[in-house]
Amino acid sequence: MADLITSSSLRERLRAYTTARVAMGRVGSAVLTRDMLDFQLAHARARDAVHNGLPEGAFGVALHGQPVVEVRSQAPDRATYLMRPDLGRRLNPEDLPRLARERAQLAIVIADGLSATAVLAHAADLAGAVIARAGRWRVGPLVVARQARVALGDDIGEALGADLVVVLIGERPGLSAADSLSVYLTWKPVRGRMDSERNCISNIRPPEGWSIEAAADEIMRIAATARLLEKTGVGLFNGDVTALPAG
């Protein structure tokens, strides 16, 4: 066995079993230059994902046949957004008139959350896949929300008079994944809904995480059950979908 314990083969072998930064080697107590810079690159990408906003008009004026409406939370900038999650959960009142109550049954919100990178990478495709599966649901406008936490979907869904709001939101980035998207579904969205009243699918990030097609299937499965039982959240399923803490 001793012949296996050279540092290059150990690194290859251990890294076959985990994505952790194992077997990095060392110089004195320090990591090697290349490993140090690899870490800094991953951190830089995660930081950029947190701080780079969605470009104006990133999703155009219409997408997948639906008008696009842009709204903001009450957090005026990124620094405030990060320190005041309460403001990120509230719709800016100036934007309320953009959300005419039009008896949309299914409202789709594209929210920047903590990773605009994830939203730019996957949200348009996922919204399209959901709309393609919406069938008898009357889908409202695509609402693009900035400086948004999950619960901002409650204000938006309430303003649209929606039965169900589906929030596509950028996840808090880790070093190994800066582009991971989550989806939260809330039945009868109104301000004050609790996180336990939502269902979540996280780690939508093809090809490593959920694929767009599989995530859209799962969203519509939850949506159909929600319509049948007239609720979302804890207890909607006993099986594979559970409500997770919202951001």
Partner 1 sequence: MTRYQVDLAGTRHRFETLAEVLAKATPSRSGDHLAGLAALSSEQRVAARLVLADLPLTTFLDDLVVPYETDEVTRLIIDRHDATAFAPLRALTVGGLREWLLDDRTDEAALKAAARGLTPEMVAAVSKLMRNQDLVSAARRIENVTAFRNTIGLRGRLSTRLQPNHPTDDAKGVAASILDGLLLGSGDAVIGVNPATDDIPTIGRLLRLLDELRQGLNIPTQSCVLTHVTNTIALIGQGAPVDLCFQSIAGTEAANRGFGVSLDLLAEAHHATLALGRGSVGTNVMYFETGQGSCLSSDAHHGVDQQTLECRAYEVARAYAPLLVNSVVGFIGPEYLYDGKQILRAALEDHFCGKLLGLPMGLDICYTNHAEADQDDMDVIATLLGVAGISFIMGVPGADDVMLGYQSTSFHDALYLRDVLGLRPAPEFEAWLAEVGLTDAAGKLVSPDSRLPSLERVPALAALYG
Interface ranges with partner 1 (CB under 8 A): 1-2, 4-7, 10, 13-15, 17-31, 35, 39-40, 42-43, 46-47, 49-50, 82-86, 114, 172-178
Query: Which CB atom, from 84 or from 231, has the smaller least distance to partner 1?
Result: 84
Report, in Å, the least distance between residue 53 CB and partner 1. 14
Nearer to partner 1, 19 or 94 (CB): 19
Shorter beta-carbon distance to partner 1: residue 15 or 103? 15
Neighbours of 208 (CB within 10 A): 12
State the nearest-atom distance from the C-beta of 122 to partner 1, in Å.
18
Distance of closest approach, residue 29 Cβ to partner 1, in angstroms: 4
Residue 102: CB minimum distance to partner 1, A: 35
How far is Cα of residue 62 from the mean position of the Cα atoms in its chain?
21
CB of 211 to partner 1, least distance (A): 18
Q: Where do runs of H (alpha helix) occur along 20-165?
A: 33-51, 78-83, 85-88, 116-133, 152-160
Burial class (CB in 10 A: 0-12, 13-18, 19+), 232: buried
Closest approach of Cβ 63 to partner 1, in Å? 27
Q: Which is nearer to partner 1, 18 or 238 (CB)?
A: 18
Q: Which is nearer to partner 1, 224 or 244 (CB)?
A: 244
Q: Which single residue is written with the structure tokens 């050279």?
A: 6
Q: Which is nearer to partner 1, 18 or 93 (CB)?
A: 18
Per DSSP (E only), the strands in the chain are 62-63, 66-72, 106-111, 139-146, 164-170, 181-187, 198-204
Phi, psi (degrees; rounded to nearest 5) at 36: -60, -45
Q: Are 152 and 143 in contact (CB under 8 A)?
A: no
Long-range pairs for 216-224 at CB < 8 Å and ≥24 separation? 216/126, 216/129, 216/130, 216/132, 216/133, 217/133, 219/130, 219/133, 219/166, 219/183, 219/185, 220/130, 220/133, 220/134, 222/185, 223/106, 223/137, 223/164, 223/166, 223/185
Nearer to partner 1, 45 or 133 (CB): 45
Closest approach of partner 1 to the CB of residue 52, in Å: 13
DSSP structure class, residue 164: E
